């Protein structure tokens, strides 16, 4: 990200990609509520990251509600999908 910023590259994320991230976090939240822990599909996937960092359901809700803001802080701006 720093290299792209130094090069003056404008980084963007489409709204549907952000929606997919919300869906992944929502699925994780539901699985934690149901089973207390997530079963990763493969090492280094999002569920594995959540387990290894002991992210709680409350943490997930905060992440979901602040994701776009956090991306903006990193210089990644959400744009509406192209038609």
Measured between alpha carbons, how far is 43 from 67 in angstroms, rounded to an integer? 23
pLDDT digits (tens, 9 = 90+) for 41-53: 777 788 888 989 9
Half-sphere exposure of 42 (CA within 13 A, CB side): 0
Tell me, yes or no, whether 81 lies in a domain: no
pLDDT digits (tens, 9 = 90+) for 50-77: 989 999 999 999 999 999 999 999 889 9
Tell me, yes or no, whether 46 lies in a domain: yes
Tell me, yes or no, whether 38 lies in a domain: yes
Tell me, yes or no, whether 72 lies in a domain: yes
Count of domains observed in the chain:
1
Task: Tell me which residue range forms the domain holding 34.
Answer: 13-76
Q: Taking the model in full, what pTM does it have?
A: 0.78
Residues 6+ away with beta carbon under 8 Å from 60: 25, 28, 29, 32, 50
| Secondary structure, 3-state, the chain | CHHHHHCCCCEEEEHHHHHHHHHHHHHHHHHHHHHCCCCCCCCCCHHHHHHHCCCCHHHHHHHHHHHHHHHHHCCEEEECCCC
Tell me, yes or no, whether 71 lies in a domain: yes
Tell me, yes or no, whether 69 lies in a domain: yes
């Amino acid at each position: 990200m720093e290299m792209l910023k130094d090069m003056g590259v404008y980084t963007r994320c489409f709204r549907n990609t952000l929606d997919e991230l919300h869906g992944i976090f929502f699925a994780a939240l539901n699985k934690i509520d149901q089973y207390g822990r997530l079963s990763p599909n493969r090492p280094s996937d999002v569920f594995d990251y959540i387990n290894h960092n002991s992210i709680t359901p409350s943490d997930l809700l905060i992440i979901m509600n602040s994701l776009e803001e956090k991306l903006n802080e990193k210089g990644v701006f959400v744009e509406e999908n192209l038609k």
